[in-house]
Structure 1
Amino acid sequence: MKTTNKEHGILIDELVHLLNGGNAHADLPTALANLPANLRGAKPDKLPYSIWQLVEHIRIAQWDMLEFCKDGSHESPNWPDDYWPKETSPENDEAWTRSVKQIDIDRDEFIGLIKNGDLFEKIPHGDGQNILREVLQAADHNAYHIAEIIVIRRLLGAW
């Protein structure tokens, strides 16, 4: 199916909106707004991870999907161990800020790929993936874990 320039533009706009946390999904800045630093590493009873671990997991997974799209020699981390940090809290405020900022940088690079690349062309080093599929996967993955951040904040009384 061939799309028109107008349809292609609409699709790009919708993907950008989705990556930025649009429609029914909260975005990461909203989920993290006014989060007290002492709660970044808190783990509510019976939950396996903290907000910090979710933020880092989002960063690592999104980076991996982005690099897969760009680089045929990229080697993904080992699943699941290398996608989840062991430490429950960031080392310091700088580590927290760096992780959140990297998520934004990589998301913006994904947006550049969808604006300047062929969404439907198979990624040469993949097994059928294309940029559209990877972007949808990244947006879906991020939305899922951002919702978990909000649930944790609710359980901690910080939402």
Structure 2
Amino acid sequence: MNTCHLKVFHAVSFLLCALAIPSIARADADTDACALLTAAQVGTAVGVPVAAGTHVTPTFTRTCTWQASGANVKYVTLYLQTAAAYDGGKQMSAEMTAAGAGVKTAEVGDDAYFFVAGKQVGLLVRKGDASFKVAVYATLPVAQKETMELALAKEALAKL
């Protein structure tokens, strides 16, 4: 991935997170991201075993990370946010396409899109007044990561 694409992806990811922090709605603040997907579900979607999901810190439970044991798949993250954060991120991501990022509609939830920057991709999904981002960090083709992320989003939506 070239440096420009990586910077765009990280900048948008940071801004999506920043938009979500001040606007926590309904049960999203109480929802544990690790409760939405099991290690078995994540492992099945990415094709390699993963460790149990963990939080960055014990008190911030809206992000969960599963470490993979495969050579190509490094880890998977699920980040919960509000619909307002999703809407702001979608508008901003559309503007970022001029910098080389790509936005592609996904058929899941009430609204969803893949945000692609170089070889990295994240799937952002909105359902009602909640939303989340799922990302597979791997050295795999973008289309393969999109398939994995879509499978994980469908599993997470069943518990949201």
- Please give the TM-score of this superposition, normalised by the length of structure 2: 0.27
Query: When you count strand as a share of all residues, which structure comes out higher?
Result: 2
Higher relative contact order (CA 8 A, sep 6+): 1
The structure that has the greater radius of gyration is 1
Query: When you count helix as a share of all residues, which structure comes out higher?
Result: 1
